[in-house]
C-alpha cells in the first residue's frame, strides 16, 4: 500500500513539473456601440499576464478607422476626465481590466456593418511584438454589459 501511494505521489509531482506555464492572453472582450451615429464606440476586455511582464502598445480592428487606448479618471471637482494612453503595463501573472469608467479602447469611424449581436476581431500588440487576436461581442449603446463583465 505504501509503495502504491509513493508511486502516485511521484507521478503527480512529475506531471506538475510538466504543466505548461500560464501564457499572456485576452478574455471577456466586448464593444459598446455609440448612442449617436458617428461618435466612437468603446471596447473592453481583460488582459491576463503571462510568466513575464508585458506592455500593451495598441489595439486595432479592421472594423474601425482608428483605435486609441484611453483611461477615464475622477477629476478634481467631482467630474470625470478621459486621457489617451500610449501603453499599458501588464504585470506577470496578473490581470489588467479594461472596464467602463476605467481603461478602455475608443473605436473611431466604426464600419456601419458592425451591428449589435455581432462580433469584431481585435488585434492586441505588445512591446515585444507579440500579437494576439480576440473576438469581441458587440452590444448596442443602451444594452447592459455582457454577463460577468
Q: What is the pLDDT of residues 61-74, one digit of tens each?
A: 999 999 999 999 88
Residue 31 forms part of a structural domain: yes
In a domain, 26, yes or no: yes
Q: For the chain, how many structural domains are there in total?
A: 1
> Is position 75 within any domain?
yes
Report the CATH number that the domain containing residue 84 is assigned in CATH. Answer: 2.60.40.1890
What is the rounded CA–CA span in Å between residue 46 and residue 29? 7
Task: Give domain status of residue 10, yes or no.
Answer: no
Looking at residue 18, what is its pLDDT? 59
5 occurs within a structural domain: no
pLDDT score recorded for residue 33: 98
Dihedral of the alpha carbons of 123, 128, 129, 130, in degrees to the nearest 10: -50
Residue 115 lies in a domain: yes
Is position 116 within any domain? yes
Quote the domain boundaries for residue 90.
22-139
Q: Give the model confidence (pLDDT) of 117-126 as tens digits.
A: 999 999 999 9
User: What 3-state DSSP class applies to 87?
Assistant: coil
Question: Quick check: is 16 in a domain?
Answer: no
Amino acid at each position: 500500500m505504501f509503495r502504491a501511494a509513493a508511486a502516485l505521489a511521484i507521478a503527480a509531482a512529475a506531471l506538475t513539473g510538466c504543466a505548461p506555464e500560464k501564457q499572456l492572453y485576452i478574455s471577456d472582450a466586448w464593444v459598446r456601440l455609440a448612442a449617436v451615429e458617428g461618435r466612437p464606440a468603446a471596447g473592453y476586455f481583460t488582459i491576463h499576464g503571462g510568466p513575464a511582464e508585458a506592455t500593451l502598445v495598441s489595439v486595432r480592428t479592421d472594423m474601425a478607422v482608428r483605435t486609441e487606448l484611453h483611461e477615464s479618471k475622477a477629476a478634481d471637482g467631482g467630474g470625470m476626465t478621459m486621457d489617451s494612453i500610449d501603453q499599458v503595463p501588464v504585470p506577470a501573472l496578473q490581470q489588467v481590466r479594461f472596464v467602463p469608467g476605467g481603461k478602455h479602447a475608443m473605436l473611431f469611424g466604426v464600419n456601419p456593418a458592425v451591428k449589435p449581436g455581432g462580433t469584431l476581431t481585435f488585434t492586441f500588440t505588445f512591446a515585444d511584438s507579440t500579437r494576439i487576436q480576440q473576438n469581441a461581442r458587440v452590444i448596442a449603446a443602451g444594452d447592459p454589459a455582457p454577463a460577468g463583465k
